[in-house]
């Protein structure tokens, strides 16, 4: 299998909820509202999501999700941001969740879809806009400054810097991957090491992140831009905004799940549901209040 084939197999596919993992909804949070929204991507797919908020919310956060079935995997984060007094516009990238598209067709698509979202925001909102993103979404919010300036602040959680760098981390080389990405979008060569210049940004990362290694990403931004804000934690792996207990519990549950799958015990949806039936999803997604206090302080500064 070629490097490009490995890359596509690992990252580029259609992402939908599988019916076994629990994702929270608006109804799980009393008084939280959602207004459905939709807008075209730069390629023409219809992207869908919602504007979430509590009564008397002010200003807007655009939330960009990581690889997976869309923004509903982040409802605890979205709700927590809403509790800070913001409307949160959360959309699903093409090929994910509620949105159209046969697949997530490129990693640099994350910047393209965020750019399309900000075009929608510019036409429909007049309040200040800040950006929050995790992982692939963190890459998007960290890079969008190379292409536009009509936003206030950036909060990047566990974001990688560029397609080239993440390709080299995972596959050792990037030439074929970059050629493919360049054929898909105009954003393939973007790197947040240039995009952060002159911006107001808070970068949040855990030093033991094995998915997007801290030393090869946020640590490099710290050296280049010491004037930015940083919240560096330990023991949170790829979810630096979760409590240590939530991360430990998630690892315990899904390590057992992976072992059962490898043993052939989870061949049907019913078996998967039964295995996860006793999971405490609130515990697994508990948000770290100290981290969110840093986010609130930064956004309101």
DSSP three-state, residue 264: coil
pLDDT at 56: 84
pLDDT at 164: 97
What does residue 54 show for φ and ψ, rounded to 5 degrees?
A: -105, 165
CATH number belonging to the domain at 3-242+288-300, selected among 3.40.50.1820, 3.40.50.300, 3.30.420.40, 1.10.8.60: 3.40.50.1820
Q: Give me the residues paired with residue 36 across strands.
A: 50
Q: Give me the residues paired with residue 60 across strands.
A: 87, 129
Q: From residue 198, give the alpha-carbon distance in Å to each of 125, 146, 169, 227, 230.
A: 24, 11, 27, 10, 15
Q: From residue 100, give the alpha-carbon distance in Å to each of 58, 97, 252, 290.
A: 30, 8, 34, 37
Using CA atoms, how far apart are residues 65 and 138, in angstroms rounded to an integer? 8
pLDDT at 129: 95
Domain residue ranges of the chain, discontinuous segments joined by +: 3-242+288-300, 244-284
Among 193, 185, 201, residue whose Cα is nearest residue 146: 193
pLDDT at 58: 86
Q: What global pTM score does this model have?
A: 0.95
Q: From residue 2, give the alpha-carbon distance in Å to each of 171, 179, 189, 211.
A: 10, 14, 21, 21
Give the pairing of strands 60-64 and 33-40.
Answer: unpaired
DSSP state of 96: B
Exposed e or buried b for every residue in 90-116, given b needs 16+ CB within 10 A?
A: bbbbbbbbbbbbeebbbbbbbbbbbbb
Q: pLDDT in tens for each of the 301 residues of the chain?
A: 899 999 999 999 999 998 999 999 999 999 999 999 999 999 999 999 999 999 988 899 999 999 999 999 999 999 999 999 999 999 999 999 999 999 999 999 999 999 999 999 999 998 889 999 999 999 999 999 999 999 999 999 999 999 999 999 999 999 999 999 999 999 999 999 999 999 999 999 999 999 999 999 999 999 999 999 999 999 999 999 999 999 999 999 999 999 999 999 999 999 999 999 999 999 999 999 999 999 999 999 8
């Amino acid at each position: 299998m070629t490097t490009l084939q490995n890359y596509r197999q690992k990252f580029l596919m259609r992402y939908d909820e599988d019916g076994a993992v629990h994702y929270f909804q608006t109804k799980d949070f009393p008084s939280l509202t959602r207004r459905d929204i939709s807008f075209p991507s730069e390629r023409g797919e219809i992207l869908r999501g919602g504007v979430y908020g509590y009564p008397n919310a002010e200003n807007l956060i655009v939330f960009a999700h990581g690889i997976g079935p869309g923004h509903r995997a982040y409802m605890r984060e979205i709700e927590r941001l809403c509790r800070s007094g913001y409307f949160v516009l959360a959309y699903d990238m093409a090929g994910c969740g509620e949105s159209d598209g046969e697949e997530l067709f490129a990693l640099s698509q994350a910047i393209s879809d965020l750019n399309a979202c900000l075009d929608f925001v510019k036409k429909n909102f007049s309040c200040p806009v800040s950006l929050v993103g995790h992982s692939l979404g963190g890459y998007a919010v960290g890079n969008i400054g190379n292409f536009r300036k009509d936003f206030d602040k950036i909060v990047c959680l566990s974001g990688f810097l560029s397609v080239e760098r993440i390709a080299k981390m995972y596959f050792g080389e990037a030439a074929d991957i970059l050629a493919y990405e360049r054929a898909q979008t105009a954003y393939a060569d973007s790197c947040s090491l240039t995009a952060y210049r002159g911006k107001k940004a808070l970068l949040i990362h855990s030093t033991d992140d094995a998915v997007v290694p801290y030393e090869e990403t946020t640590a490099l931004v710290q050296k280049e831009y010491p004037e930015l804000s940083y919240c560096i934690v330990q023991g949170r792996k790829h979810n630096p905004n979760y409590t240590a207990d939530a991360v430990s519990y998630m690892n315990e549950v899904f390590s057992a799940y992976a072992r059962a799958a490898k043993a052939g015990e989870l061949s049907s949806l019913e078996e998967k549901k039964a295995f996860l039936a006793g999971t405490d999803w609130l515990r697994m997604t508990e948000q770290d209040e100290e981290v969110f206090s840093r986010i609130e302080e930064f956004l309101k500064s």
